[in-house]
Chain A
C-alpha cells in the first residue's frame, strides 16, 4: 500500500472528509479563502499543511497566526501535497519542524468536537465544525 493510500485510509478511520485532486488550489478555493497571515475571524480558511502522517492521519501546520485563525473559522480546508506525506507521526513532526522556519508547529486531525454532555459527540465546539482535506497529487 502506498503512503497516499495509507493516509487516505487513516482519514477514513478518523471520519475526515477528503478530496484527491491534481489541482488542490482550484478545488480548495471553492470552499473559502486562502490564509494570508494575521489573526482573522473568517467563516472558512484554506491553509497548506507542512506534513501529514500516513499511519494516523495527523496533519501538521506551522505559524502562530494560522493556529489561531484556523481555530476561529467554521470551516478549515487543509491542502496536503502528496510529497509531504510521511510514513508515521514522528517523521511528519520532524518534517514540519524542518519546513516551519522556526515558527511553532501544531497539528489538526479532525473538526473541533466535544463529548462532555452525556457522552454525545457534538461538532464545532469552539473551533471549526468542518475539517476538509484536499490532497494534491
Chain B
C-alpha cells in the first residue's frame, strides 16, 4: 500500500495514462469500424475459450503431447518456483540472454532469477528496457514506461551510456546498444500471445521487431506459455492475436511471428500453470486476451497505474490475475465496482463480480466464516 500512496503523488503517472488513453481509445473504435469481422472473431473466440476452460487438463495434456512430438524440450511448471528452476537449469550461468516483453515472465520473476544466477539479461522491448534500468515494474502491460517523460527516460538510459534529447535519438541509441546483444545472445526468451495446440505454433505480435530477433537469432530459445493461451488450432490463435492488437489500439500489428521448433536450434516450451488450473471460481479471467483496455479505462488505475492491481499485472484484470497466481492483498477493496472494466472488455469478463467474490472470501476468512 505504501507504493500506492507514493504513486498517487506522481503526476507523470496520471498524465501518461491519460495520454495513452487519448491516443488509443479512438484507434480501437476506428479498428472496429474498419474491420467489422473483428466482432465475429470475438464471439467465436469467447465460445472456443469457454470450451477449453471447461476441460483445461485435457488441453494441457494434448498441448504437451503434441509439442513433444515436434522435438521441443517440453516442461510443465506447476508453480513459479518450478518455472524458475527449469529456466535456471536450462540457462545455467555466465550467459547472455535477450528477452522479449512477457507478462508471464514478470509473474515468474525470470529476469531476476537469471541475473541472480550470474547471467547478463536484457529486456529488449524499449519500454521494458527502460523499466529494467529504472529498477521498477512496468506501469502498463503493453506500454511499460507510459508515465515517464523524455527527460526521465534520457536520465535512465544514460546509465548504459545511451544519450539523446528526444524520443528518436534515444530510440536510435537503444537500437545500436541492443543490436550487438541480439547477435551475440546465447538464449532468447519470450512469452506467448497464443499457442496452437494442433500445430504447436507460438503466435507473437509486436511492433518493434525485438520479438522477431529474440526468437530467431540466439542459439537456444525458451518460450514461456501461460496455459490460458492454449487454443485448438492456428486460425483461432491468429484470430486471438489480431483481436489483442485491435482492442489495444494498434491494428494491424506490425509483425506477426509464428514459431515452431527448428532443426539445429534447441527450443524449450515451458507451459506455466502457477494457479491457473485451480483458479476455480476465478476461471472466467483466463479468457483475457491481454489488450489492457480495462486498465486504461479504470478510474482507480487512472490515478495509480499498476501500483494498484497486485505485484505484476496491475489494474482490474491484475487484481484477479494476482489472486489466481499468488494472492492479492488489501488493495482488492479499493475497486469502485463501477463496472467499466466489464463494459470495455472484448471478452465481456465480469471483472467486478470476480473482484466481489474475492472480497467476500477474504472477509469470510477474516471473520472465520
Hey, which bits of chain A sit against chain B, CB under 8 A? 13-14, 39, 41, 55-58, 64, 67-68, 71-72, 88-90, 93-94, 97, 104-120, 122, 124-128
Could you jot down 30 A-B contacts, CB within 8 Å?
Answer: A39-B217, A56-B35, A56-B252, A67-B216, A68-B213, A90-B238, A97-B234, A106-B256, A106-B257, A107-B256, A109-B254, A112-B255, A113-B207, A113-B254, A115-B23, A116-B144, A116-B145, A116-B146, A117-B148, A117-B167, A118-B150, A119-B146, A124-B172, A125-B174, A126-B175, A126-B210, A127-B208, A127-B209, A127-B212, A128-B209
Known: A104-B258, A118-B19, A126-B208. 17 other contacts (CB 8 A): A56-B251, A57-B252, A58-B256, A67-B216, A68-B212, A68-B213, A68-B217, A71-B255, A90-B239, A106-B256, A113-B207, A114-B127, A114-B208, A118-B149, A122-B167, A125-B209, A126-B210
Chain A: interface secondary structure? loop
The CA-CA distance from A44 to B114 in the complex, in Å, is 35
* B146 surroundings in chain A (CB, below 8 A): 116, 119
Q: From residue A69, how far is it (CB to closest CB) to chain B in Å? A: 9
CB closest chain-A residue, reference B143: A116
B126 touches A117 (CB 8 A): yes
Known: A72-B213, A109-B252, A126-B210. A114 touches B19 (CB 8 A): no
CB closest chain-A residue, reference B214: A126
Known: A105-B258, A109-B252. A125 touches B175 (CB 8 A): yes
Q: From residue B263, how far is it (CB to closest CB) to chain A in Å? A: 10
Does B51 belong to the interface (CB within 8 Å)?
Answer: no
The CA-CA distance from A105 to B83 in the complex, in Å, is 29
CB closest chain-B residue, reference A124: B175
Does B259 belong to the interface (CB within 8 Å)?
Answer: yes
Does B262 belong to the interface (CB within 8 Å)?
Answer: yes
* Chain B residues touching A, range: 35 or more
* B235 surroundings in chain A (CB, below 8 A): 90, 93-94
The CA-CA distance from A111 to B312 in the complex, in Å, is 31
Does B242 belong to the interface (CB within 8 Å)?
Answer: yes
* A93 surroundings in chain B (CB, below 8 A): 234-235, 238
Q: From residue A136, how far is it (CB to closest CB) to chain B in Å? A: 22
Instruction: Specify which of B178, B182, B216 lies most central, judged by the most chain A CB atoms within 10 Å of its CB.
Output: B216
* B144 surroundings in chain A (CB, below 8 A): 116
Query: Contact check: which of B212, B242, B262 meets A71 at CB < 8 Å?
Result: B212
The CA-CA distance from A119 to B100 in the complex, in Å, is 20
Q: Which 7 A-B pairs have the closest CB atoms?
A: A127-B209, A116-B127, A68-B216, A112-B209, A117-B167, A126-B209, A71-B212
Query: Contact check: which of B34, B171, B242 meets A117 at CB < 8 Å?
Result: B171
A67 touches B212 (CB 8 A): yes
* B171 surroundings in chain A (CB, below 8 A): 114, 117, 122, 124-125
B210 touches A125 (CB 8 A): yes
Known: A106-B258, A114-B126, A125-B171. A89 touches B208 (CB 8 A): no
The CA-CA distance from A89 to B309 in the complex, in Å, is 35
The CA-CA distance from A120 to B166 in the complex, in Å, is 10
Contact with A along B104-133 (1 / 0, CB 8 A): 000000000000000000001111001000
* A109 surroundings in chain B (CB, below 8 A): 252-255
Instruction: Specify which of B148, B252, B259, B262 lies most central, judged by the most chain A CB atoms within 10 Å of its CB.
Output: B252
* A119 surroundings in chain B (CB, below 8 A): 19-20, 23, 146
The CA-CA distance from A72 to B216 in the complex, in Å, is 11
* A124 surroundings in chain B (CB, below 8 A): 171-172, 175
Query: Contact check: which of A89, A108, A128 meets B238 at CB < 8 Å?
Result: A89
B262 touches A64 (CB 8 A): yes
Does B3 belong to the interface (CB within 8 Å)?
Answer: no
The CA-CA distance from A14 to B31 in the complex, in Å, is 12
B126 touches A125 (CB 8 A): yes
Q: From residue A117, how far is it (CB to closest CB) to chain B in Å? A: 4
B254 touches A110 (CB 8 A): yes
* A112 surroundings in chain B (CB, below 8 A): 207-209, 254-255
Does B58 belong to the interface (CB within 8 Å)?
Answer: no
* B298 surroundings in chain A (CB, below 8 A): none
Q: From residue B249, how far is it (CB to closest CB) to chain A in Å? A: 10
Q: From residue B242, how far is it (CB to closest CB) to chain A in Å? A: 7
Q: From residue B257, how far is it (CB to closest CB) to chain A in Å? A: 5
Does B91 belong to the interface (CB within 8 Å)?
Answer: no
Q: From residue A49, how far is it (CB to closest CB) to chain B in Å? A: 13
The CA-CA distance from A125 to B143 in the complex, in Å, is 15
A71 touches B143 (CB 8 A): no
